[in-house]
Amino acid sequence: MESQIRLGICGYGNLGRACVSEIGKNPDMTLRAVFTRRNPGDLPDTGVPAVRMGDAAQWRGELDVMLLCGGSANDLPVQGPELARMFSTVDSFDTHAKIPAYLDAMDKAAALGGNLSVISAGWDPGLFSLMRLYTESFLPKGKGYTFWGRGVSQGHSDAVRGVKGVENAVQYTIPSESAMQRIRGGETPELTAREKHTRLCFVAAAEGADRARIEREIKEMPDYFKDYDTEVRFVSASELLDNHAGLPHGGSVIRVGTTGGANTQTAEFSIKLDSNPEFTASVLLATARAAYRLYAQGARGARTLFDIPPALLIPQDPLAAVRELM
């Protein structure tokens, strides 16, 4: 029997709160403290001390793994390397283009601190990345696709909220069912962004705001909406709260491969999530178990899920996992 894995949570937003809710589903883990940039007294009671982030150093040696629950845009690039010098860490850093640079920064920091960091351990990047890797390894001649949704994109919702006259907004990313059906049928089309996903915005506009202008500004927003077919629906602020307060998400990784002469082999992994942050938290927690075990084996520096033997993720001992799951 391994001793309990002592965890800290750094950042108490959607993901941090979800880690608190999910930790109890892992009997080999115990939460020791929550670290926050806010006034610790303002946090709701989680049953463990709330600690000012600046005091984290005082917890060295008290935690086996720190779960980094800050945002990828602004928090993790700074907090990650700082904390990796003090603790072994796990995070779900998700700015795809910046993962190599972040991995490098975390590797240096963790090595310097004698710690182990596992980065980008959510569902994409994370579980979906694993699916892309396995399916490409096992079907080397082929083409892979990733679809996201139907689900709430926080980044796109924030972008809509930034439009003048918008009081609140929720954006759903919706995968093209017809594109997915073609691929499932063995086709390997080249698809534009517009052909893969559509975007649906529920917008609560301020009283008297120019709705035509709001709709135009959303649809023409570069990077976020311009390359997509976007629908804007104006709703009341209360309808937004009543019907769109959840954070569902999902998606699919599909690969179509060819073997032999012209045999078609398709593989698809899909998830459908009522709660995006709670699933991400679940992945983080299993990855914390793997980080704890890898560290115990002597590993230092930074890793991704690509480097983690799957057996390290599951509570069972390796032979029990073979018996029950192989």
Under the rule (CB under 8 A), what is the footprint of a copy of itself? 18, 21-22, 25-26, 96, 99-100, 103, 120, 125, 127, 129-134, 136-141, 184, 257, 259-260, 263-275, 278-279, 281-283, 286, 304-311, 313-315, 318-319, 321-323, 325-326
The strands making up 166-175's β-sheet, listed across from edge to edge, are: 151-152, 166-175, 197-205, 229-234
Residue 63 vs 127, nearer CB to a copy of itself: 127
Kindly state the smallest distance separating residue 31's Cβ from a copy of itself, in Å: 16
Read off the amino acid at residue 135. T
Task: Find out whether 147 and 251 touch, Cβ atoms under 8 Å.
Answer: yes
Kindly state the smallest distance separating residue 152's Cβ from a copy of itself, in Å: 14
Kindly state the smallest distance separating residue 161's Cβ from a copy of itself, in Å: 24
Kindly state the smallest distance separating residue 34's Cβ from a copy of itself, in Å: 17
The tokens of 67 are what?
A: 């779960």
For residue 251, list its beta bridge partners: 148, 271
Q: Rounded to whole angstroms, how far apart are CA atoms 58 and 32? A: 13
Residue 199 vs 244, nearer CB to a copy of itself: 244
Residue 49 vs 309, nearer CB to a copy of itself: 309
Q: What is the largest CA-CA distance in the chain?
A: 67
Kindly state the smallest distance separating residue 54's Cβ from a copy of itself, in Å: 30
Residue 51 vs 285, nearer CB to a copy of itself: 285
Task: Find out whether 34 and 50 touch, Cβ atoms under 8 Å.
Answer: yes
Task: Find out whether 248 and 275 touch, Cβ atoms under 8 Å.
Answer: yes
Kindly state the smallest distance separating residue 65's Cβ from a copy of itself, in Å: 15
What residues contact 242, with CB distance under 8 A and at least 6 apart? none
Say how far residue 93 (Cα) sits from the centre of its chain.
7
Residue 57 vs 101, nearer CB to a copy of itself: 101
Closest residue by Cα to residue 63 from 45, 90, 38, 43: 90
Residue 28 vs 210, nearer CB to a copy of itself: 28
Kindly state the smallest distance separating residue 88's Cβ from a copy of itself, in Å: 18
Residue 15 vs 160, nearer CB to a copy of itself: 15
Q: Rounded to whole angstroms, how far apart are CA atoms 84 and 315? A: 24
| Structure letter (DSSP) for residue 40 | G
Q: Rounded to whole angstroms, how far apart are CA atoms 50 and 99? A: 30
Kindly state the smallest distance separating residue 299's Cβ from a copy of itself, in Å: 11
Strands 249-259, 142-148: pairing is antiparallel
Residue 189 vs 318, nearer CB to a copy of itself: 318
